[in-house]
Amino acid sequence: MEELTINIPLLKKEEAELTPTEATLLQKAKQATYRSYSPYSHFSVGAAALLDDGTIVEGANQENSAYPSGLCAERTAVFYAGAQYPERAVTLLCVAARDTDGKFTARPIPPCGGCRQVLSETEDRQKQPMRIMLYGTDGIYFINTAKDLLPIHFDTTYFLQSTIHN
């Protein structure tokens, strides 16, 4: 038996340490939380995606009583970017959340598993990494690539290998 360890680099910054581009993206993600439709969870999430040409697109979580028909903010932003700007790559995705009291969360909120898979596959499709910026009032986490959020991810390599060998 062999035990393996996966280490993920994480950079923590304070808001005052952000570059002007990062600060703008953060403000857009925070503003997007106010466009959340979350009457069931009362947990508002906003995302802002920076494209490789400087365009910023935003998304917010959208819930539905026919659970799980809603969609997370991260997927809303990334799918919108892919639908409206298919030739552009998402280079940085910022996520912010407000809790049930309407206050921004102290700790950064990471994407759910479904979003992690979508972000990983988006990186595959665009053939370049996407940095992730997770906002919390106690600090902002930066992850170098979406793959770090889901280090053992499913991709077409696994699918192709399993279909070829069966």
Please check whether residue 134 is in contact with residue 8, taking contact to mean a CB–CB distance below 8 angstroms: no
Closest CA to 84 of 65, 58, 45, 60: 58
35-73 residue pLDDT tens: 999 999 999 999 999 999 999 999 999 999 988 889 999
| pTM over 0.85, yes/no | yes
Q: Which amino acid is at 113?
A: G
Please check whether residue 61 is in contact with residue 36, taking contact to mean a CB–CB distance below 8 angstroms: yes
Q: pLDDT higher for 150 or 45?
A: 45
**Locate tokens 């009032």: which residue?**
137
DSSP state of 103: P
The pLDDT of residue 25 is 98
Q: Which amino acid is at 67?
A: Y
86-114 residue pLDDT tens: 999 999 999 999 999 999 999 999 999 99
Give the chain's count of helices (H) and strands (E): 4, 6
C-alpha distances in Å from residue 69, one per residue of 72, 82, 96, 136: 10, 20, 21, 27
C-alpha distances in Å from residue 53, one per residue of 44, 87, 90: 28, 10, 9
Q: Domains (ranges, CATH) in the chain?
A: 11-165 (3.40.140.10)
Q: How many CB atoms lie within 10 A of CB 156?
A: 10
Tokens of 80: 């919108």
Mean pLDDT for the chain overall: 92
**Does residue 159 surpass a pLDDT of 60?**
no
Tokens of 88: 């552009």
Catalytically active residues, by annotation: 74
